[in-house]
Amino acid sequence: MSEKLVFVAKSIPEKPGVYQFYNKEDKIIYVGKAKNLKKRVLSYFQSKKHSKKTLHLINSIHNLRHIVVPTESDALILENTLIKEHQPRYNILLRDDKTYPWICIKNEKFPRVFLTRKLIKDGSEYYGPYTNVKGINALLNLIKTLYPIRTSNYNLSQNQINRKDIELCLNVHRTNENTLILGFKELTNSLKNILTKDEYNNNIIQVRQILNGKFLNIKESLKKQMLLHSSKLEFEKAQTLREKLTMIENYQSKSVVVSPKINDVDVFSIVSDDKNAFINFLQISFGSIVRFHNTIVKKKLDETDQEILRVLIVELRRRFSSKSKEIFLQFDLKFEDNIVTVPKIGEKKHLLELSIRNSKILKIEHYKQLKFIDPEQHQNRIMLQMKKDLRLKHEPNHIECFDNSNIQGSNPTSACVVFKYGKPSKKDYRHYIIKGVSGPDDYASMEEAVFRRYRRIIDEKLELPKLLIIDGGKGQLSAAIKSLNKLEIKGKIPVLGIAKKLEKLFFPDDPVPLYLDKRSETLKIIQQIRNESHRFSLRLHRKKRSKGAVASSLDNIHGIGEKTKIQLLKKFKSVKRIKEAEEIELVLSIGKSKGALVYKHFN
């Protein structure tokens, strides 16, 4: 079982998220979070230094699941929510009734703004949760500095307001060395600097904008005030405003994995290929993700995503006893007694995107596991995908790629690399020293290399490749096609050119380039082949250039033959050291007369 779990863990992405361990009864026994999921989960199975408790946990693991989230803070919040919901046996630190704090705008007259750990559904607004209490306090201090907010918890019912025997003051703040008293203007005329109800509510609107991350107007106002104080040489006040501005700019908006505005909802997403469908399910309760589940369905016929998801929704909701009335989906489906929503904007859209992202990750992980478990099936799938993406008649199980190397036309070389079933076949690699081209003519070099390669293949009656890749744009591609025309094999080999800029793929006689998804496996294999051809071509070019540089330096010395040059290079290792050598060193190495000749030449 541990070997199987290691295979699964190796396919997990190196991204922040939460993982769950299950026992044989399919019950969650541990929930953990990680900045790097792959490294964290693998550490359980690869490290030998574990406590007794951890070893007992590892021996109890029968299965594992995970979910990827945008940030480490999201992972921390989600971990907390899942531990509270499922109370796993091996989690002891977070199983109490504590939770992460929120900022609340209370639903009352002259609303208070304060920190709380409890969400009460009384119409109040909640922002968060936050993992850094120090950051929340700094934010609340900023809000109270910018906008006077009451902190007293007077009962502001109408009966209290109507009483004449009390003076109802809400709070006292000191702003710009003047005491500001918050209260009802209609209660008394003796209070100074009183804020009206409308003015107070306008402050709450500004606070709400800060908590929603909408800082543009506030920042512009602070900048104007800061510049005004600076022009008056009031640098301390300007610095105070600058600190407030910096604090606002560093403030981060709330987590995507929790939203008090979204109550009981089920979120489903699906991503599929020709053989399988990959489904992610998120269950939202009281604004938090309380369950996530991934599943893979093998297609039997040509079922659509809608048909598969319709069946899976019913099955998963029954399995997990979900009573949610609303369902978020990528597309519209009809369900009796349920509201189906296709989110377009806002927090609902973010939740759906989180689910879709995890469906795509599940698909990638399945491919990685297949690569370990069944390499032959993995190769066949890759070849089939490349055939489909590149619109080929046959699977490209034999690919050849050409690339040129030269510096301003000097030492021109070309290389052909060969990939079979998506893997390099280095025994079939070939180098070409370009002979029939003078000057920097990349097109002519490509034409010569391609012609020489396939003329020999035809002469020796070897198999032609299923795909030919040319590293370059339309010019290099046209040069390769010229050679194929000369050899009368143009239609027998599919050809494409890849331009480094924007990774455009060009086909002969097609003016419109093909753009593949940057994350597609087909493009990654083409890029790998292109990079390998560049490396292989550059190796010969550098070797030839280096040899030429050495030869030109020593060949110009009259009276020094080939054996003497080899003798010098063996002794001094490089031409540079020969140039820097003293005359006596050269004499001792190759004799008096030849040593004097070499020394005189370089000095």
CATH of the domain at 535: 3.30.420.340
Instruction: Single out the residue in 32, 59, 86 at which a domain terminates.
Output: 86
For the chain, state the CA radius of gyration. 36
Q: Is 346 found in the same domain as 294? A: yes
Q: Around Cβ 18, how many Cβ atoms within 10 Å?
A: 27
408 lies in some domain: yes
What's the domain range around 595? 556-602
Amino acid at the residue 250: N
Q: Which residues pair with 18 in a beta bridge?
A: 33, 67
What region does 205 belong to: left with phi over 0, alpha with psi -120 to 50, or beta? alpha
| 247 inside domain | no
pLDDT at 269: 94
Residues across the chain: 603
Q: Are strands 467-471 and 495-499 parallel, antiparallel or unpaired?
A: parallel
Same domain? 414 vs 304: no
pLDDT of 551 reads 52
The strand pair at 398-407 and 63-68 is best described as unpaired
If asked whether residues 539 and 397 sit together in one domain, one would say yes
Burial classification of residue 530, based on how many CB atoms lie within 10 Å of its CB (0-12 exposed, 13-18 middle, 19 or more buried): buried
pLDDT at 315: 86
| Phi and psi based region of residue 58 (left: phi greater than 0; alpha: psi -120 to 50; beta: remaining) | alpha
The answer to whether residues 538 and 497 belong to one domain is yes
Last residue of a domain, one of 545, 571, 592: 545
Q: Would you say residue 255 lies in a domain?
A: no
Tell me the CATH number at 25: 3.40.1440.10
Residues 434 and 491 placed together within one structural domain of the fold: yes
| Same-domain check for residues 482 and 436 | yes
Residue 492 within a domain: yes
Please give the pLDDT value at position 329: 92
* 188 in any annotated domain: no
Residue 169 lies in a domain: no
Residue 34 lies in a domain: yes
Please indicate, yes or no, whether residues 569 and 530 belong to a single structural domain of this protein.
Answer: no
Task: Choose among 223, 203, 233: nearest CA to 111.
Answer: 203
As a whole number of angstroms, the distance between CA 299 and CA 85 comes to 34
Phi, psi at 466, each rounded to 5°? -85, -15
pLDDT, averaged in runs of 10, over the chain (603 residues): 76 89 89 89 82 84 88 79 81 60 84 84 78 71 75 64 54 41 41 62 82 72 86 86 73 58 86 88 80 85 84 86 88 83 87 91 84 75 88 91 71 86 89 77 87 92 91 88 90 88 83 84 89 82 56 68 78 78 83 84 78
In a shared domain, residues 287 and 316: yes
- Indicate the residue among 86, 121, 139 that finishes a domain: 86
The SS3 call for residue 211 is helix
pLDDT value at residue 160: 59
Same domain, 460 and 343: no
Q: Tell me, yes or no, whether 171 lies in a domain.
A: no
Helix (H, G, I), strand (E, B) or coil at 295: strand
405, 538: one domain: yes
Token output for 12: 């997990």
Which helix or strand (DSSP H or E) is residue 356 part of? helix 346-373
Question: Residue 553's pLDDT is what?
Answer: 65
Q: Mark whether 519 and 408 lie in a shared domain.
A: yes
The count of structural domains within the chain is: 5
Give yes or no: residues 431 and 360 share one domain: no
pLDDT at 170: 53
